[in-house]
Amino acid sequence: MTEEKDENKLIAERRAKLDALRESGNAFPNDFRRNALAGQLHQTFESHEDEALRDEHIKVAVSGRMMAKRVMGKASFIKLQDRSGQIQIRLERDRLPEGVYQSFKKWDVGDIVGTQGELFRTQTGELTVMADSARLLTKSLRPLPEKWHGLSDQETRYRQRYVDLIINESSREVFRTRSQIITYMRSFLEAADFMEVETPMMQILAGGANARPFTTHHNALDMQLYLRIAPELNLKRLIVGGFDRVYEINRNFRNEGVSTQHNPEFTMMEAYRAYADFTDWIDMTEAMLHGMSEAVLGTTLVTYQGETFDFGKAFKRITVEDAIRIYNPEFDMSKIRDRDYLVEYCKKLGIAVHDNYGEGKLQIEIFDATGEEHLREPTFVTHYPTEVSPLSRKNDDDPFVSDRFEFFIAGREIANGFSELNDPEDQAERFRAQVENKAAGDDEAMAYDHDYIRALEFGMPPTAGIGIGIDRLVMLLTDSASIRDVLLFPHMRPEVFD
């Protein structure tokens, strides 16, 4: 007992009960089998009155965590919670085998219990199981949070997600919705004949995006590897290979700060479709979000943090230069591509300007600083400067911009898509420009990927692709303020155990 002497009294009491269970037999049995879930029973017998239930003698076996225990002398009510919901059980001393009721009185809220009995309704109409047997299946040593106020401490909710999930239905609902969103997305893409693939997380070069990577080390090969920042270049290699509709839903890793919008690892869906351009992806994105909101929320009206957006109607479309004009009334649009004017304007906004910034980069700095946050309604912003789109195809009529869009809702970027650059010589030039940027101090610039150029030299059919940030989408559809609320196990600094 010495190692437990520091434990609090509540745990010590429960541990003593577990010791007693061990002495009287198997304390962790695994031979109980349920045949019903709480939620199913409520649904199936929704319209059955008490009398009808008793006449039919419906015998069920249910199990779950005991979330409430109300003892009234020789009879009690408890609530068992399984993955589908809660069901009430009535235990009467004289209906249970000898000694069971006496044992039951020592069980604690939080214990895992299995029981069998017949369905009835109480005086207040609650569907209940009249137990004719009951067993303690797993002893819970730690007390659950208080029944009324529950668990509200953010840190504990994130660090001990298991407790959060036991206690907070709203939290369970967020993660069910997350699963439904991803399921919907898969079925949408599968219906359009896309093939799901998996590409490496560990890469020799971390390409496909402008971001700092995590590094790791392969011992046997004694080499540095990077965790991927995007799957893009590998997915396009597959387009070259002839799998001309592919997608991947998986984790990306970016070595950046942690905030309500950023987690070092996050989930991205990327899809590539040959013989299509970026406008096809704009249309598909619209259709997918329309269907997703109906399938997951049952409505196309999405309310996020007090704002309501209609996913049922066509989304707005504006160009980057439009956005600059709209949100900067004093901006002289005749000088939208005048480097000196752009530099001066950036400085006025307090934006740090580097010597190697071209007109496109300067435009995007202004757009990020003045436009993004105002894009509340779902909006496709198109015609991104080619300078900041190193993997995008140049626009045929205006090579200053590329055939690219980003999609914003509530001031946040949700998706990024473009017609892919499939000219290997142009791509090689873009990589060289990235390498120059890197040399000039931009540690988010891309490296030159020789193999990717080689792949393009075999010929990549005209293609368009999209990336959708799953976590941010889930935040929107679950009205969650923080990315941590939609990640089961968000990144946290290490906890101190003393």
Partner RNA sequence: GGGGCGUUAGCUCAGUGGUAGAGCAUUCGGCUUUUAACCGACUGGUCGAAGGUUCAAAUCCUUCACGCCCCA
Residues within the interface to RNA (CB under 7 A): 8-10, 13, 68-75, 77, 88, 90, 92-94, 106, 108-109, 120, 122-124, 126, 128, 143, 145-156, 158, 257, 259-260, 481-482, 484, 490, 492-496
Question: What is the nearest approach in angstroms of RNA to the Cβ of residue 196?
Answer: 32
* Shorter beta-carbon distance to RNA: residue 84 or 250: 84
* Shorter beta-carbon distance to RNA: residue 195 or 481: 481
* Shorter beta-carbon distance to RNA: residue 88 or 279: 88
* Shorter beta-carbon distance to RNA: residue 257 or 298: 257
* Shorter beta-carbon distance to RNA: residue 158 or 331: 158
Give residue for tokens 């993004």. Answer: 372
* Shorter beta-carbon distance to RNA: residue 257 or 329: 257
Query: What is the rounded distance in angstroms from the CA atom of residue 103 to the CA atom of residue 20?
Result: 11
Other Cβ atoms less than 10 A from the Cβ of 301: the count is: 12
Taking alpha carbons only, the member of 76, 57, 72, 135 closest to residue 103 is 135
217 token code pair: 């080390």
> Which neighbouring-strand residues pair with 245?
273
Question: What is the nearest approach in angstroms of RNA to the Cβ of residue 308?
Answer: 20
Question: What is the nearest approach in angstroms of RNA to the Cβ of residue 21?
Answer: 13
Question: What is the nearest approach in angstroms of RNA to the Cβ of residue 67?
Answer: 9
Query: What is the rounded distance in angstroms from the CA atom of residue 354 to the CA atom of residue 38?
Result: 62
Question: What is the nearest approach in angstroms of RNA to the Cβ of residue 127?
Answer: 9
The angle formed by the CA atoms of residues 472, 318 and 423, to the nearest 5 degrees, is: 85
Question: What is the nearest approach in angstroms of RNA to the Cβ of residue 79?
Answer: 8
Question: What is the nearest approach in angstroms of RNA to the Cβ of residue 27?
Answer: 17
Question: What is the nearest approach in angstroms of RNA to the Cβ of residue 151?
Answer: 5
Question: What is the nearest approach in angstroms of RNA to the Cβ of residue 467?
Answer: 22
* Shorter beta-carbon distance to RNA: residue 86 or 319: 86
Taking alpha carbons only, the member of 257, 247, 266, 199 closest to residue 417 is 247
* Shorter beta-carbon distance to RNA: residue 15 or 290: 15
* Shorter beta-carbon distance to RNA: residue 43 or 154: 154
Beta-carbon contacts of residue 215 (< 8 Å; ≥ 6 apart): 224, 225, 226, 227
Question: What is the nearest approach in angstroms of RNA to the Cβ of residue 466?
Answer: 27
**94, 214, 220, 221, 230 from 224: Cα distances, Å:** 69, 10, 11, 9, 18
* Shorter beta-carbon distance to RNA: residue 150 or 291: 150
